[in-house]
Amino acid sequence: MNCFKIILLSGILLLGMRLAAQDDELASLVNSQTDSTIDDKVIASFKTTRLINLTTIEQVKRGELDFRIAHRFGDIAGSAGGASTFFGFDNVSDIRFSFDYGIFDVWQIGIGRSKGGYSTSQVFDLNSKFKLAQQKKNGFPLAISLFGGLTFTSMQSSGVLSDINNFNRSTAHRFNYFGQILIARKMNDQFSFIIAPTIVHRNLVFLGDNNTHFAIAAGARFKISKRAAIIADYYQVLNVSNFQKLIGHQMPIGLGFELETGGHVFHALFSTNTGLMESQFLPNNTAKFTAGQVRFGFNISRVFTIIKDK
Amino acid sequence: MVFKIEKLKIILKIIILVIAIASSNAQAQVWLSKNAKIRFFSKTPLEDIEAASNYAAGALNTKTGRIFFKVMMKSFKFEKALMEEHFNENYIESDKYPSAEFDGIIQNIPDFTKDGNYELMIKGSLLLHATKVPRDIKATFRVTNGKIEAKSIFLVPCQDHNIKIPSITRKNISDNIEVTILANFTAKS
């Protein structure tokens, strides 16, 4: 009988072990079938396609249309600000309406119209952004995109030879171009930064000014809650021209508060520069931060789904 | 002597039985579903939100009745990219909590070798957004020609899993999300 018991017990034990092993196997089996590379993609480095002046690596996704309004008031303080202009609110200097559409998840095109504070800043623009590299958790550490475009002014030519808005000699003088390599990294849940080598080329410039300017831009977002963040960006022009030195050129600085409300993204911001396009604010800015020539502004972004993903 | 031979025979039979059970690979016990579909749906008067993943994985042990599912949160695709971003960033926090798991035991294990439809009760737990909640769900299993199809629809209250919906989107997102799982199991070879 002892022999019988041992065999029976060992049999039950064997069976039990087998079943237990199989059940642990179940979870590891499922784990081995789960494609964890799905999780590898780093998303939402920035909330929207732009910070204040600087473009981010975020794309308008395929089939979506991003309608944006950028708005800058006049100088808060300084000679053009103060209580007499209600701290700049009376001087709406810059407005840009734009539509950006995602052709693919990695490629968007955009069109915009800017109203500026001075003669050459009423421009149409066409732009395009292409995503070259995706940041991965276990892989490539950076997100890299190419961004570029052109601006075109439709305003009447002055016909005066020395004017910046004399386009009698060539229609090409109405065009300016810009290009950027956007390099970004989301460091953690809260903090992302971006660095962008920039080139701006203007066909018509004042005497002593450079046609081509090189610059380095830097920007960052710091999330203070799930839906609110502090954003900032800065441009450093590398080859400041004699003309710019003469007019007292200043580097564009922006600092803002970003709020997301489901469908809209709002930026309430302060910036030094006039002009909303790279080819305007980069070479032309003379607003001095220390002289109180800071302006209040806001950006609004609303994304519409044109083609639904199934 | 006769008695002893009888006893030996019984022992022999038991040995054979034990070996047979313990090595019964001929009848598959573990079934696998590689591309199970999980869909969820939120309905409010303002907005319907729907998302689906075709990348869930599941396994079923037909002997023990244990069933296990896992899905990566980032594999859910939405109609609108913005919804998907909000889902991952604001609600599910998929960078912190990348996957959801269901682990359960079938209470009324049927004979999976026989074709038919079975209404089964599964007692288990759902791990979502780092919160594990015990759940009893009903599922329909359909066995045909050595295939097992499973389907289950159940409600997941956001509150149970500590998923916070701010007042601004409260009217757009239902408190109870309807989840549908569709899985085709094949025997693991």
Q: Where are the domains of chain A?
A: 1-32, 42-305
- Most confident among A78-92, B5-19, B62-76 (mean pLDDT): B62-76
Q: Quote the CA–CA distance of A52 and A301 in Å, as a whole number.
A: 12
Cα distance from B116 to chain A (closest Cα, Å)?
Answer: 24
pLDDT score for A263: 79
Q: Quote the CA–CA distance of A144 and A132 in Å, as a whole number.
A: 5
Q: What is the dihedral of CA A68, A72, A73, A79, to 10 degrees?
A: -170
**Contact between B22 and A14 using a beta-carbon 8 Å cutoff:** yes
User: Pick from B21, B58, B60: which is nearest to A15 by CB?
Assistant: B21
- Name the residue range of residue B140's domain: 28-187
pLDDT at A20 over 60: no
Q: Is B148 domain-assigned? A: yes
pLDDT score for B155: 94
Q: How many CA atoms lie within 13 A of A228 on its CB side?
A: 5
Q: Quote the CA–CA distance of A274 and A282 in Å, as a whole number.
A: 9
pLDDT score for B18: 65
Q: How many residues does chain A have?
A: 310
Under a CB-based contact definition with an 8 Å cutoff, are residues A74 and A90 in contact?
yes
* CA neighbor of B151 nearest in space, from B140, B136, B138: B140
Q: Is B166 domain-assigned? A: yes
**Contact between B82 and A263 using a beta-carbon 8 Å cutoff:** yes
Instruction: Please report, for residues A252, B49, B51, B181, B183, the alpha-carbon distance to residue B39 in angstroms, rounded to integers and kept in the order given.
Output: 47, 11, 6, 7, 11
Residue with more model confidence, A310 or B90: B90
**Contact between B86 and A262 using a beta-carbon 8 Å cutoff:** yes
The ipTM, to two decimals, is: 0.75
* CA neighbor of A70 nearest in space, from A306, A293, A271: A271
Q: Outline where chain A has alpha helix (H).
A: 2-33, 242-247, 278-284
| B58-104 tens-digit pLDDT | 999 999 999 999 999 999 999 888 889 899 988 999 989 999 999 99
pLDDT at B14 over 80: no
Instruction: Please report, for residues A97, A168, B95, B135, B163, the alpha-carbon distance to residue B87 in angstroms, rounded to integers and kept in the order given.
Output: 29, 54, 11, 23, 10
| pLDDT confidence bin for A144, thresholds 50/70/90 | very high
| A172-203 tens-digit pLDDT | 999 999 999 999 999 998 999 999 999 999 99
CATH code of residue B169: 2.40.128.110
Under a CB-based contact definition with an 8 Å cutoff, are residues A196 and A217 in contact?
yes
What is the domain count for chain B? 1
Q: Quote the CA–CA distance of A265 and A46 in Å, as a whole number.
A: 11
pLDDT at A18 over 60: no
| pLDDT confidence bin for B188, thresholds 50/70/90 | confident
Question: Does the CB of A2 have a partner CB in chain B at under 8 Å?
Answer: no
Report chain B's mean pLDDT, rounded to a whole number: 88
Q: Which of A148-152, A295-299, B27-31, B45-49 has the lowest mean pLDDT?
A: B27-31
Question: Does the CB of A9 have a partner CB in chain B at under 8 Å?
Answer: no
E runs forming strands in A134-274: 143-153, 175-186, 191-202, 212-223, 228-237, 253-260, 264-271
Mean pLDDT, residues A93-122: 89
* CA neighbor of B63 nearest in space, from B113, B6, B126: B113
pLDDT at A167 over 90: no
pLDDT score for A125: 95
**Contact between B188 and A309 using a beta-carbon 8 Å cutoff:** no
| A44-69 tens-digit pLDDT | 999 999 999 999 999 999 999 999 99
Looking at domain A42-305, its CATH architecture is Beta Barrel (2.40)
Q: Is B5 domain-assigned? A: no
Decide: pTM greater than 0.80: yes
